[in-house]
Amino acid sequence: MCSPEIVRLAGSAGPRPSRRTLLGWAGGAALAAVVPARAAAAPRTGGVVDLTHTLSPGLPVWPGNPPMAMVPVAWHAVGGFGQFALGYWEHTGTHLDAPAHRIADGATTDALAVDDLVAPLVVLDISAKAANDADAVVTVADIDRWRTEHGEIPDRAFVAMYSGWEGRLGDPSTFLNLDARGVPHAPGFAAEAVEYLVTQCGIAGAGVDTLSLDCGADPDYGAHTALLGAGRYGVEMLAALAAVPPSGATVVVGAPKHAGGTGGPCRVLALT
Ligand SMILES: [Zn+2]
């Protein structure tokens, strides 16, 4: 869970404190309490929300990646059973980013801690600013605002950015939103916000409803590096985050488990 004092200072105006300074403040965290000690979670409704897009050849993919392919290799009228051969790059559709996606010796899909795949779900809604700015990012101030409204981020949480981007899927070109140079423009996490969630809030993973944890136009991939470099996992192209509460739900990430994988399509459910 986040340190309240660190969040108050990190979210204030003025020069951004260094990571070393932030870590130093941790000892004085008890001095101030600017957020409720516990999230005021809504009562469970017993519902299940599917946070997964239907995987199909029509889904937009990262520039340069091929769309997924489905080839029928058996059919009922012939042998009595139906079966497709699937072809896709790992980072297609609603999918996992294992640490090995960014870090050469990082954990692969088959090495993830299963405890981290079932986690408290935190939804950070930046749809208002994303509607006016395709390069909008989740900032430390956005995290601070969530904490003020909902309380502490639980330990080992999964923190998801909701930008409203799936509303563009009717026209995949607007979902990718490439500029004249072929650079995608879509919201993501600021690198310092991810570093903050990892080092100060102890998250298990993070997700976005766009194709990249980073703002699409960010050439440095700092959010990927901060998250995956810390051994945490990501999920990209989440669906239906507007249908779950900002706090109180539990996410279940049905991650792939192929040997040595860097990620892959997964089924993600929210228990509300
Ligand atoms: Zn990915």
Q: Is residue 90 part of a domain?
A: no
Q: Is residue 122 part of a domain?
A: yes
Q: What integer pLDDT is reported at residue 27 of this predicted model?
A: 36
Output the CA 155–ligand 1 centroid distance in Å.
Answer: 24
Output the CA 219–ligand 1 centroid distance in Å.
Answer: 15
Q: Is residue 28 part of a domain?
A: no
φ, ψ at 161 (rounded to 5°) = -90, 125
184-239 pLDDT, tens digit each: 999 999 999 999 999 999 999 999 999 999 997 888 999 999 999 999 999 999 99
List the CATH number of the domain containing 180: 3.50.30.50
Instruction: Give the contacts of 43 (CB within 8 A, at least 6 positions apart).
Output: 248
Buried b (16+ CB within 10 A) or exposed e, 14-29: eeeeeeeebeebeeeb
Q: Is residue 86 part of a domain?
A: no
Output the CA 212–ligand 1 centroid distance in Å.
Answer: 7
Residue entry with tokens 């079932």: 118
Measured CA to CA in angstroms, residue 201 lies from 63, 162, 198 at distances of: 33, 19, 6
Q: Which of 161, 155, 143, 199 is nearest to 18 (CA)?
A: 199
Q: Is residue 106 part of a domain?
A: yes
Whether 59 contacts 170, CB under 8 Å: no
Total structural domains within the chain = 1
Across the chain, mean pLDDT equals: 88
Q: Which residue(s) pair with 118 in the sheet? A: 252
Output the CA 27–ligand 1 centroid distance in Å.
Answer: 36
Q: Which residue(s) pair with 252 in the sheet? A: 118, 269
Q: Which domain covers residue 167, as residue numbers?
A: 95-271
Q: Is residue 198 part of a domain?
A: yes
The angle at the Cα of 116, spanning 248 to 3, to the nearest 5 degrees, equals: 60
